[in-house]
Amino acid sequence: MAVTKIIRKDNLGVAIDALNNHDVVAFPTETVYGLGAKAFDKKAVKKIFKIKGRKFDNPLIVHISNLEQINLIAKDVPPIAYDIGKKFWPGPLSIVLKKSDLVSDLVTANLDTVAIRMPNNKIALKLINAVGPVAAPSANLSGKPSCVELNHILDDLTGKINYVIDGGKSKIGLESTVIDLTSNPFVLLRPGKISFEELEKFFGKGKIIKYKFENSKITIASSPGMKYKHYSPNAKVKLVKNIASFLKNNKLKNFVLISSKKYDLEKSNINFVFKSNEHLAKNIFSWFRKSDKLKKDYVFVEEINEKHLGNAILNRVKKACEKN
């Protein structure tokens, strides 16, 4: 079993050496922590799937540190990809393009496309600058909520990886927005901090649509990751519209309530209160994970407005509800 070592941000040489030696390293980004390997190192990329327990049909995102690297990873790159890069990168947006021959089928799960993003985190950018493009999924065990702080990595991956870089708490707390640029109109595959509204403003109305399972033109094959259960605590998760009447009508015990207001609850229950959607996004995976640590039976989440960041938050909460 590996002894998992914590690397401080002023000691990145150790992480760089590890990546250059076919190893994987958990590292911070502004969205969530990633579990990275050099993107062109098949041996190391394979380790990622094994460690996470990730299915081989779920592709990874390739992380870059400058726009020129797009050409290494992708081919037939449309000019709009560079415009997007200039506008949104480094930042929480991944774009799907036609893959180049350099990228292995392992990274892309046999798709002919590849997801690319430039993370907005100094540590991540330094690593990529030193070793080249890094393939990385979120660093959690498959099915678990993503890791947004060092302790989450240690909970999931202690003994399974050699190195994690301590980058403190993730600024955003939800995974990047993913858009497919190989289809017409473009498709929002996964909502994130960069919202559909913002993208629609950038591309123009009708130029980008939201992915819908029932939309016959878009098959599940275009984003295999979406069919998997995600982000789930062990507890049963439920969205609640009217908390006050819900609490009055349901005499449940041993639950976590995530709400915008504080409620007076019995001792066996816990109330996490969010001040804004940004605050909720940043903390929701931590609160899911806390509910597991405390062995709670239910997590009730106040239903928020589905616009902007609310769309991304509700997407994750609804996925967490699905397993029940």
Instruction: Choose the one of ligand TXA, Mg ion, none that binds residue 256, judging by a C-beta under 5 to 8 angstroms depending on kind.
Output: none
* Residue closer to ligand TXA, measured from CB, 171 or 296: 171
| 191 cis-preceded (ω within 30 degrees of 0) | no
CB of 23 closer than 8 Å to CB of 164: no
Q: Smallest distance, Å, CB 48 to Mg ion?
A: 11
Interatomic CA distance for residues 206 and 214, integer angstroms? 18
The CA R_g of the chain, rounded to the nearest whole Å, is: 20
Instruction: Choose the one of ligand TXA, Mg ion, none that binds residue 223, judging by a C-beta under 5 to 8 angstroms depending on kind.
Output: ligand TXA
Interacting residues of 118 by C-beta distance below 8 A, sequence separation 6+: 63, 64, 65, 66, 67, 85, 89, 90, 91, 125
Helix (H, G, I), strand (E, B) or coil at 189: strand
Interatomic CA distance for residues 48 and 248, integer angstroms? 46
* Residue closer to ligand TXA, measured from CB, 142 or 234: 142
Q: HSE (CB half, 13 Å, CA atoms) of 219?
A: 2
* Residue closer to ligand TXA, measured from CB, 103 or 299: 103
Instruction: Choose the one of Mg ion, ligand TXA, none that binds residue 60, judging by a C-beta under 5 to 8 angstroms depending on kind.
Output: ligand TXA
Q: Smallest distance, Å, CB 137 to ligand TXA?
A: 3
Instruction: Choose the one of Mg ion, ligand TXA, none that binds residue 58, judging by a C-beta under 5 to 8 angstroms depending on kind.
Output: ligand TXA
**For residue 309, which phi and psi values (nearest 5 degrees)?**
-60, -25
* Residue closer to ligand TXA, measured from CB, 85 or 256: 85
Q: Smallest distance, Å, CB 230 to Mg ion?
A: 6
Q: Smallest distance, Å, CB 146 to Mg ion?
A: 6
* Residue closer to ligand TXA, measured from CB, 18 or 312: 312
Instruction: Choose the one of ligand TXA, Mg ion, none that binds residue 108, judging by a C-beta under 5 to 8 angstroms depending on kind.
Output: ligand TXA
> Considering only CA atoms, which of 286, 288, 310, 276 is closest in space to residue 237?
288
* Residue closer to ligand TXA, measured from CB, 54 or 238: 54
Binding interface with ligand TXA (CB under 6 A): 29, 31-32, 34, 58-61, 94, 96, 108, 111, 113-115, 117, 119, 136-138, 175-176, 178, 189-190, 222-226
Binding interface with Mg ion (CB under 5 A): 138
The tokens of 275 are what?
A: 């001040």
Q: Smallest distance, Å, CB 112 to ligand TXA?
A: 8
* Residue closer to ligand TXA, measured from CB, 121 or 291: 121
By Cβ distance, which residue is nearest to ligand TXA?
225
Instruction: Choose the one of Mg ion, ligand TXA, none that binds residue 31, judging by a C-beta under 5 to 8 angstroms depending on kind.
Output: ligand TXA
Instruction: Choose the one of Mg ion, ligand TXA, none that binds residue 269, judging by a C-beta under 5 to 8 angstroms depending on kind.
Output: none
Interatomic CA distance for residues 41 and 319, integer angstroms? 32
The DSSP code sequence of 33-77 is -EEEEETT-HHHHHHHHHHHT--TTSPPEEE-SSGGGHHHHBSS-
CA quadruple 149, 4, 157, 107: dihedral positive or negative?
A: positive
Look-up: residue for tokens 């033109």?
A: 217
Look-up: residue for tokens 């289809």?
A: 183
